[in-house]
Amino acid sequence: MKMKRVAIISFHSCPCGKLGDKDVGGMNVYVLMLSKYLGHLGFDVDIFTRNHDDCIYPQIGNIEPRVRVIHIEVAHPNTSKIELYNYVDQFVLNVKNFSDNNMISYNLIHSHYWLSGCVGEKLSDAWGINHLLNFHTTSKAKSDVDIVEENETVRNLMEEKLFFSSDAIVTSTSQEINELQEYYRGSPKKSYVIIPGVDLSTFYPVEKSFAKNQLSIEEDFVILFVGRLDPIKGIDLLIESFSQIQHLKFSRLLIVGGTKNEDDNSYFTKMKNLTKHFGIEEKVSFEGSVNQNDLYLYYNAADVCVVTSHYESFGLTILESMACKTPVISTPVGASKNLIEDGETGFLVNVRSANELSKKIEHLLKDSVLGSKIGLNSYGLVKKMSWSEMALKFSEVYESFLKK
């Protein structure tokens, strides 16, 4: 029987990191759940990530019997994502040393994010094996919505190179691969669209009163945001929209994710100041990072979950909210256009207008029957979307490369 050992590269961010912290979000959940379920299918998976201070696992930790996370010593744990490109070669060397010292060989490399792609390409050349890449997001996607990073030039160059040099590009939606082909005016060697899943044992419906009691929420209405505190998430639009709703006196906006330390995140400081500008600082709670096992309480306590992102490769928050029967209002990003049918499984806001978004929120707050109907419909949609199904599709792709 052919060995099936996969090296998964998540250079800049550990999949076991604290969700909602800086650089820890949907991609981390994706990598972790994919790895776990690949292990269930008989693959031996090693996830290579950089060393950091707060992981629940040791330097080499068994997540499951066939799945390990391996923290590679490189740079300082607090080195920013922008600076990490300078450490790609050192990370590659240290991964190769780990492989040689432990006499382990791999059959396939699967990288996540462009920095990991840079690592994966070099390892692919060194080991003579195929390299698959998920971008998750790209510099061009960010620049399309006027978000510019310090390393934009080198990132653009490397992402275009990786798009053509990787043995396969994997995306979560057909829209994403179409955008990539448009950006780079060509097609990759191979491409696959594989839809992510949701863990129904972690995200499930409970009584709203129970969830609100557990979280000590007294307001009649709860609006929820879940995600990293990052400009691409467009939280400023949600804050302005919330300030305009008629039920403001009886409502609370919960912002889940990120740090509560203003020194660690300038965007957090900006958003806090924005709540003061609109005079709603007492009605907005910045909850910080929340344990994944407690997150279902927030979804269930909410009357609506709002996604205001400028860009998403998929948008796992949408699935998680739907799994808890909580209606979603979203900008047309990621899979929202495939998952949300207006008035049936949620609402789309096609114009970035605080006035329009506030009207949609108000509509759901006023009509609890509609909210229940949407919650039920969306739950019926996502309960068929599992991580195990996604891993099965990935296993088929992996097997096709292992045969070569």
Nearest to 316 by CA among 60, 25, 112: 25
Residue 63: in which H helix or E strand, if any?
strand 60-64
Backbone conformation region of residue 110, classed left if phi is above 0, alpha if psi is from -120 to 50, else beta: beta
Distance, in Å, from the CA atom of 180 to the CA atom of 186, rounded to the nearest integer, reads: 8
Q: Is the domain covering 5-197+386-402 a CATH 3.40.50.2000 domain?
A: yes
pLDDT tens-digit series, residues 32-45: 999 999 999 999 99
pLDDT tens-digit series, residues 209-250: 999 999 999 999 999 999 988 888 999 999 999 999 988 999
For CATH 3.40.50.2000, list the domain ranges present in the chain.
5-197+386-402, 208-382
Cβ proximity of 166 and 121 under 8 Å: yes
Cβ proximity of 317 and 27 under 8 Å: no
pLDDT tens-digit series, residues 190-206: 999 999 999 999 999 99
CA–CA distances in Å: residue 195 to residues 35, 92, 222, 260, 269: 15, 29, 29, 32, 35
In CATH, the number for domain 208-382 is 3.40.50.2000
The pTM score is 0.90
Q: What percent of the chain has pLDDT over 70?
A: 95
